[in-house]
Homo-oligomer: A and B are copies of this chain.
């Protein structure tokens, strides 16, 4: 079983988060394919049981590069239902679009029929950091990876 993690990153903040989400997924025994957006291919989608997307916050939404990937994913529309999904992001300030970015990604994943899971703990909708992720942010990333790894195990069997 495998989760594909796709991320965009300009300053390295979202990348740091991606590495920690990866650790969380791997702690459950699920493999990870981690790709920066310019190396990612939509043709990887059918071969993974899950997709986690990370993006810097740009005008309250994921970057155009991430959006381009989502637009192209229409190639597999109707063939991805039941996979596990999640989203994380890094923003420049507090309450400056992090929640809306994560929710935008969650919505796109729901349109593909994905299975999502929130948390009653920190960062309910998905992991988010303001600027460089601190230890608490990174722990939210790790936990999200763990949560979604476990969800892949439950739903793919």
Interface residues on A, range: 35 or more
| Contact between chains at A60 and B124 (CB < 8 Å) | yes
For residues 46 through 61 of chain A, which have their beta carbon under 8 Å from a beta carbon of chain B? Answer: 58-61
Q: How far is the CA of A34 from the CA of B117 in the complex (A)?
A: 24
Pairs A–B under 8 Å by Cβ, sample size 18: A58-B70, A59-B70, A60-B110, A61-B107, A63-B67, A67-B67, A77-B120, A96-B111, A96-B122, A99-B99, A100-B103, A104-B104, A107-B125, A111-B124, A113-B119, A114-B117, A115-B117, A116-B117
**Footprint of B on A, CB under 8 Å?**
58-65, 67-68, 70-71, 73-74, 77-78, 80-82, 93-100, 103-104, 106-125, 128, 130, 151, 154-155, 157
